[in-house]
Amino acid sequence: MSEEKVINTLSAPDAEAIAEKETAARMKKALIAQNIVKYIPLGACAVLGLLYVICALIEGYDLAIGFKVIISNATLVALVATGATFIFSAGSFDLSLGSNMLVSALVGGLVGIKTGSLFLMILTCLVVAISLSVLNSVLASLFNLPVFIMTIVMMNVYGAIATLLITTFGTNAAVPVPPSIVNSLNNTGFRIALLVGFEVLCCFLFYFTKLGRKQKFLGGNPLCADLTGINAKKLTILSFALAGIGIGLASFAMIVQTPTLSASSGSSVGMNMLIALVFGGMNMNGGPRSKMYAAMLGAFSMAFLDSFMNIYVTGSWYLQIVKGILFVVVVFLFSIANRPKMLER
């Protein structure tokens, strides 16, 4: 006899009690599944880190040098991805982040060469990055186009601008920034301080101010957000401006890390940023499931994965294949776990 027939044969109070127990059991299972999925990114990062340490010790690698490389690689991706979280949580998309970072680094580096001022170099990186980032959203609003389409166009425009800057002001192939300007900051402590400071600022804005709540509301349900009086265009522009701060800091960190800037500098940051966000547990559709800490978690997961694979294989092509496969697998697993039966609240 089926469960429905059994319930129908019972009295109304008994049937209601059984139905309530079954509902509570299903909710408990769903909650357990959500908690497991929630901690998968943290567990994956820990496993990758432990795997790297074990293999590095077996192969006789210097862990001190290895962790410096990991922090250096993770910093650029984490800074860009942390700022980009504001964009993705509001339901927008930006593929021009890597090109923006290169242009900002080149202009900042040229100002540093001309003036010899570290402060003006940092300020220029921030101003250029924020301006280019906001330009994407403003142009999209002006021409009434989806933001992600405009960012694809601007990605190519920024790439062309970077090439023009290098050929005009550089040595045809690169722009060398004098090490004397940034040499004092080329250390792990500076990178950690820069990353932690920006992460704390973004987490405060995202979790403890109206800005974060509005962005998650807009990303989860644009129609309801509009009906409640949230100005989507203004909020999107503000989100891109905040992302520009992360890009500006990342461009300065790139100058410190690699003073010789070329057209390929930071070329992989844009794609690595997307992969890092997904690996960190970020919902790419935005909304209430957005997580600010996902950027840092995913960036270090990627850095551990890169260092682990570089122990045994040299080259970059295999890394892109592995990351692509993992990206698809992770997106598929999260889509299964987060398939909603009700509208997001």
Sign for the pseudo-dihedral over CA of 130, 95, 298, 211? positive
Whole-angstrom distance, CA of residue 146 vs CA of residue 150: 7
What pLDDT sits at residue 176? Answer: 82
- The pLDDT value recorded for residue 239 is 92
Domain positions in the chain: 55-337
CATH pick for 55-337 out of 1.25.10, 1.20.50, 1.10.3470, 3.30.450: 1.10.3470
pLDDT given at position 175: 79
pLDDT at 121: 93
Q: What is the mean pLDDT of each run of 10 residues along the chain (345 residues)?
A: 50 64 70 70 88 90 90 92 91 86 92 89 95 88 77 88 87 75 86 94 93 89 86 89 94 88 79 84 80 90 87 70 74 59 47
Q: 230 in the Ramachandran plot: left (φ > 0), alpha (ψ -120 to 50) or beta?
A: beta
Q: What is the pLDDT of residue 342?
A: 47
Query: What's the pLDDT score for residue 85?
Result: 92
Tell me the pTM: 0.84
Cβ atoms 103, 158 nearer than 8 A: yes
Determine the pLDDT at residue 7. Answer: 46
pLDDT at residue 79, as a whole number: 94
Residue 79, judged by CB atoms within 10 A of its CB (0-12, 13-18, 19+), counts as buried
pLDDT for 343: 45
